[in-house]
Amino acid sequence: MKDILVLIGSESDKDSVQPAVELMKEKKISFDLKVYSAHRNLEELQKFLRENEDSYRLIIAAAGLSAALPGVVASISTKPVIGVPLVAGALSGIDALLSILQLPKGIPVATMGIGKQGVLNAVHLAERILKV
Ligand SMILES: Nc1c(C(=O)O)ncn1[C@@H]1O[C@H](COP(=O)(O)O)[C@@H](O)[C@H]1O
């Protein structure tokens, strides 16, 4: 089992999560980075999460625009999910922030700030959760 699964909604998010990748390497946290979109490839996302329910201790899900990904991940997986809104498009991440923050009850996602600061705090929070 690895510590963290990092999910991003698009290949175009890779640069945005690079600071988290570097921080996890620095902290020797084991992780995989995968690209799955709830909007575009829902069935593949569901299949991957079901097949890997016991492969990771915690999930970081980062996406821009209308960011369904973290909430959908939290609705499928039983692991803690940390959501990170990324800067993309005309609203510069506010759209993603509200999408991740305002989830219905029973679908918990720990929502970080927008962009680089949020991506780094996701790793810091994950490290604390993993130590509990
Ligand atoms: N928010 C989502 C989801 C999702 O939530 O399922 N899938 C893609 N995206 C976001 O769309 C933006 C543009 O993606 P493209 O560059 O592929 O058009 C990305 O920031 C991605 O996270």
CA distance linking residue 60 with residue 55, whole number of Å: 14
Whose CA is closest to atom 17 on ligand 1?
10
Domain 2-131 falls in which CATH fold? Rossmann fold (3.40.50)
Q: Annotated binding site for substrate: which residue ranges? A: 10, 13, 40
Give pTM, 2 decimals: 0.98
* pLDDT at residue 108, as a whole number: 98
CA–CA distance, 64 with 116 (Å, rounded to integer): 12
For 58, the token pair is 């915690």
The predicted-structure confidence for 5-62, as pLDDT tens digits, reads as follows 999 999 999 999 999 999 999 999 999 999 999 999 999 999 999 999 999 999 999 9
**Ranges of each domain in the chain:** 2-131
Q: What is the side-by-side order of every strand in the sheet holding 110-111?
A: 31-35, 2-8, 56-63, 81-85, 110-111
- Ligand 1, residues at Cβ distance < 6 Å: 9-10, 12-13, 37-40, 63-69, 86, 88
Nearest CA to ligand 1 atom 20: 64
Note the ipTM here: 0.99
Gap from CA of 50 to ligand 1 centroid (Å): 22
- For atom 8 of ligand 1, the residue with the nearest CA is 9
Residue 27 token pair: 């902290």
d(CA 49, CA 90): 31
